[in-house]
Amino acid sequence: MTEQNIDLMKPFGPWIAKITIPEKIINTLNNYVDEIIADEEKSNKQDLGTKLAGNVRQEFKLDNDFSEKSGWGNLLGKATAKWVEVAIKKKITKFQIEHSWIVRQFANEYNPVHFHSGHVSGAGFLKVPKSFGETIQKGKTSNQNGKLKLVHGNKQFLSQCMYPITPKVGDFYLFPHYLMHLVYPFYGTDEERRSISFNATIDEDIFDVYKN
């Protein structure tokens, strides 16, 4: 695997990282998801809907073996290591995925404001509808339908508290586990908005900024 490019941004408090999921891994993930959807027994076995915040069609976890063999876990580990090193000049020696899961969202569904467990988290996109629909009130200058929004703190002079993200297949964002975020509903289409997320732990002495 070639070295992963990574973009860091600091729209407010914590550093956020953005990477691109390689097309090969996107295809592998989507094929895996389609196989799960077609297998009712496995879908039920891996269902995470009752443990996650989303009010969506379906949410299920990835097999740990699949995450490893597909290269997904390796991609996340390398990206997290680079993100931490560039942001705070420290090198992690541990990266352990707690969970990685798929969110299948359709029209009129949403994911409310929530945060994750672990130390580091992220969310990205495997399928995106051609359109998320129009705003109910015509003439709105901003259409939030289907967007992922990161939230931190409160709006102040020279300090934004919200960072909207328009879904694009292959884009993946990494953020600290505590960062609040939500996904807005969308309308007027039968197409799926398919996203993938994860929680992981790293070196405790790097994560625990209060240890001293």
Digit-coded pLDDT (tens) for 180-194? 999 999 999 999 999
CATH numeric code, 7-205: 2.60.120.620
Could you tell me the pTM of the whole model? 0.92
Q: Are 113 and 162 in contact (CB under 8 A)?
A: no
Digit-coded pLDDT (tens) for 146-180? 999 999 988 888 778 899 999 999 999 999 999 99
Q: Are 102 and 62 in contact (CB under 8 A)?
A: yes
Count of residues in the chain: 212
Burial of 44 (0-12, 13-18, 19+ CB in 10 A): exposed
Digit-coded pLDDT (tens) for 28-69? 999 999 999 999 898 888 988 888 889 999 999 999 899 999
